[in-house]
Amino acid sequence: MAEDETIIRLDLRDLLERAGFEVCAEAKDGEEAVALARSEQPDLAVMDVKMPKLDGIEAARKILDERPIPIVMLTAYGQEELVSRAIEAGVFGYLVKPFREQDLLPAIATARARHEELQAVREEAESLSEALAARKVIERAKGLLMAKDGLSEQDAFARLRKASQASGRPIRVIAEAVVATLDGE
């Protein structure tokens, strides 16, 4: 939680704790928020936009660069420019002060849900990227085996699969070894 005004910070902490959240750290400025996010590794951040040293949006950007977490921004200013900067920084929620508990808790729940969805999409994209890379190296290894030993595509793949099973290593690792061995010949 990052808020430069002490009274608001105390009220916010009380509200969050009553709602069942554990507040692991409190920052009075943006630089402290970044440092505490790094050391405490929170699951969520609630941050004011206008803070000394480093504004909340820049602090959010730095936090998200290091470790993606849901961030809800709080501000007394609803200007389009600030909202646009917050969105571009990657925050998941934006509330204009004064806010009530009925406003903050749904904003947090929504931010957490959107963050989980984004994480799932990122993991799926990474998995697909790894599968594509594996497919490419397997295809390359099959082509090299077909050219070197005059095998059919099916027989080249069978040879890779057999070597994978015999060694207990993934077929991608076997394919990479074949490519490394035969690619320069």
pLDDT value for 78: 67
Q: Give pLDDT tens digits for 108-156.
A: 888 888 888 888 888 899 999 999 999 999 999 999 999 999 999 999 9
What letter does residue 20 receive in the DSSP assignment?
T
Domains of the chain: 6-99 (3.40.50.2300), 124-182 (1.10.10.10)
Length of the chain: 185
| Cα gap 164→171, rounded to integer Å | 5
Give the chain's largest Cα–Cα span.
78
For 101, the 3-state DSSP assignment is helix
Distance from CA of residue 158 to its chain's centroid? Answer: 38
Q: Give pLDDT tens digits for 66-106.
A: 988 999 988 877 677 888 888 888 888 888 887 777 888 88
Question: Which H/E stretch holds residue 93?
Answer: strand 93-96
